[in-house]
């Protein structure tokens, strides 16, 4: 039973809790002293849900203690050492506590926040240590299920990487709290099979590690969005675009962020590839070559494959939109998220790289033609004329544009044609989504984007940090142009633009999104969805 001594609480007659050093969804972590052995320790006080009955609370305590004892059997230099598991309290209010080694140092998330992202060599070192730790845990039948920078400690003075917080770990053969109906974890780092409620295994932890590598290299998860709905869509359906900083480790990142867990890169192979990078400066490909299952449209680097498609749809109907919708519904069910929760969430000089005409400003009206009728379908494409029709994600509408294409645009965006370019503008023109269709040009998309980038300073005031990347779109040659510029006025401020150009059915298409530099995450989502759902009509 807990007692008070020297103004500190003592639990189990032995561990003196002295100061809180962390708090999370699963409980509070204390700096403490083991008075029997005279050593400093960390003690995690696990929270019990107030809504549980006495029997349910007892079952939760039993599961927590059983799993904590299993983790305590793990012995690895990069897994937190569990010294003891105790219960303390009065009658039905007994709480479980996990006594662990005290690591002098903050989390990987703290390090990134204070010092910024790490370089590829350091990311590889972190990845090697965590992969080795996961191999040990998985061989013992323990899944972590919440791998993220906040759950990785970095010891001061030694830089030892330590995987901690097995609070929602799953032990082989045990039923866990999260299997009773509620989702526990961090969506930005959660594998798509967990989002969809499918049975998960070691591969789910490896997906999370792939997202973590992107985060330590760039400062954020590649699935970060401004809403839960956006995160779910990014994880289960949108094309995955690793950050540019991940390019040195791209074969590993691509392999870990494979949506099909059966094809995902294994821990031993990923560790081998990272060790090779540390030794040679080059990352080899996997022993079994990676073969994407779907089109490649990278964020600066090649994307990763989406989930395998469902069984073929009848001729003349696209399965892509149905797949996206089905995965989102499954994800909402697996995460305990309602549809209502999801709903809560540049040729204007921005892009439109084809250099055959000047770039009008967002308020240019001289070339604006009368606005024709636009067919809008909310949530699904119901027009019978669309072999390539797509389903719009939650928060978007499918616009069948009279200029000869369809795509999903965010709710609230309005159409604004400007000569040969069509824009969909957010209120106050904060976000500008542009589309242009033209005849193919000499050299193809890469040459077009390269010429546009060369002229970037003349069309985009304060143009800088421009980069053109060769890629593909639906298996067709494409080029991605990304850059930052100063906007059209001081009041508008700096902006960032994503611009993809490709050829399809004898036409050249250009889709871009520009936004204030402080809103690039939201702009990237709009860009991803626009490119993903675009189809000529």
Catalytic positions, written as ranges:
146
* CB contact set of 72 (below 8 Å; sequence gap of 6+): 82, 83, 84, 85
Residue linked to tokens 């039905």:
92
Q: How far apart are CA 98 and CA 329, in angstroms?
A: 37
Instruction: Report d(CA 238, CA 305) in Å as an integer.
Output: 10
- β-partners of residue 9 are 4, 17
Residue 205 to residue 194: CA distance in whole angstroms:
10
- The encoded tokens of residue 16 equal 């003196």
Q: What is the enclosing helix (H) or strand (E) of 504?
A: strand 495-504
Tell me how far apart the alpha carbons of residues 128 and 268 are, in angstroms, rounded to a whole number. Answer: 10
Q: Supply angle C-alpha 487, 453, 430, rounded to 5.
A: 25
> SS3 for 467?
strand
DSSP structural state of residue 292: -
DSSP structure class, residue 79 = B
The residues, ordered by sequence, that sit 6+ positions from 299 with a Cβ below 8 Å of its Cβ are: 222, 241, 242, 243, 244, 480, 498, 524
Cα 421 to Cα 10, 165, 352, 377, 479: the distances in Å are: 70, 52, 8, 22, 19
How far apart CA 424 and CA 417 sit, in angstroms, is: 8
List residues bridging with 447 in a β-sheet. Answer: none
What one-character-per-residue DSSP string does 104-117 give? SS-BHHHHHHHH--
Cα separation, 164 vs 192, in Å, equals 23
Q: Which is nearest to 130 in space by CA: 86, 163, 95?
A: 163
DSSP 157-180: TT--EEE---TT-EETT---GGGG
């Amino acid at each position: 039973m807990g007692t008070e001594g020297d103004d500190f609480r003592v639990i189990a007659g032995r561990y003196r809790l002295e100061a809180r050093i962390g708090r999370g969804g699963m409980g509070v972590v204390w700096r403490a002293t083991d008075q029997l052995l005279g050593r400093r320790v960390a003690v995690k006080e696990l929270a019990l849900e107030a809504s549980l009955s006495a029997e349910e609370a007892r079952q939760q305590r039993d599961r927590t203690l059983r799993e904590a004892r299993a983790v305590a059997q793990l012995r690895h230099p990069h897994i937190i050492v569990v010294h003891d598991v105790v219960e303390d309290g009065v009658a039905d209010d007994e709480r479980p506590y996990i006594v662990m080694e005290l690591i002098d140092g903050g989390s990987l998330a703290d390090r990134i926040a204070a010092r910024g992202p790490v370089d590829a060599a350091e990311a590889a070192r972190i990845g090697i240590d965590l992969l080795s730790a996961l191999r040990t845990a998985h061989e013992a039948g323990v899944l972590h299920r919440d791998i993220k920078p906040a759950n990785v400690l970095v010891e001061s003075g030694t830089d030892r990487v330590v995987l901690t917080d097995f609070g929602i770990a799953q032990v082989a053969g045990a039923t866990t709290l999260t299997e009773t109906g509620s989702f526990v974890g961090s969506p930005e780092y959660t594998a798509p099979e967990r989002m969809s409620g499918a049975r998960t295994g070691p591969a789910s932890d490896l997906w999370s590690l792939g997202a973590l590598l992107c985060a330590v290299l760039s400062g954020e998860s590649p699935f970060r969005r401004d809403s839960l709905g956006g995160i779910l869509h990014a994880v289960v359906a949108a094309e995955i675009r690793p950050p540019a900083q991940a390019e040195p480790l791209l074969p590993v990142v691509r392999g870990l962020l494979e949506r099909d867990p059966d094809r995902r890169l294994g821990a031993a192979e990923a560790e081998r590839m990272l060790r090779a990078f540390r030794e040679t400066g080059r990352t080899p490909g996997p022993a079994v070559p990676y073969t994407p299952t779907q089109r490649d449209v990278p964020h600066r680097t090649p994307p990763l494959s989406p989930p395998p498609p469902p069984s073929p749809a009848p001729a003349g109907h696209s399965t892509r939109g149905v797949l996206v919708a089905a995965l989102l519904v499954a994800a909402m069910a697996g995460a305990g998220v309602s549809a209502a929760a999801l709903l809560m969430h540049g040729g204007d000089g921005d892009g439109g790289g084809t250099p055959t005409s000047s770039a009008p400003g967002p308020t240019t009206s001289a070339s604006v033609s009368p606005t024709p009728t636009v067919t809008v379908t909310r949530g699904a494409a119901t027009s019978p004329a669309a072999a390539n029709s797509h389903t719009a994600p939650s928060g978007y509408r499918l616009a069948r544009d009279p200029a000869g294409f369809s795509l999903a645009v965010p709710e609230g965006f309005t159409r604004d044609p400007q000569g040969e370019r069509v824009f969909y503008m957010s209120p106050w023109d904060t976000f500008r989504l542009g589309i242009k269709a033209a005849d193919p040009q000499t050299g193809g998309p890469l040459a077009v984007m390269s010429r546009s980038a060369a002229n970037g300073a003349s069309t985009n005031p304060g143009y800088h940090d421009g980069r053109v990347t060769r890629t593909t779109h639906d298996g067709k040659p494409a080029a991605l142009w990304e850059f930052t510029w100063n906007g059209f006025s001081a009041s508008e401020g700096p902006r960032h633009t994503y611009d993809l150009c490709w050829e399809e059915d004898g036409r050249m298409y250009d889709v871009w999104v520009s936004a204030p530099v402080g809103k690039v995450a939201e702009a990237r989502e709009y860009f991803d969805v626009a490119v993903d759902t675009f189809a000529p009509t």
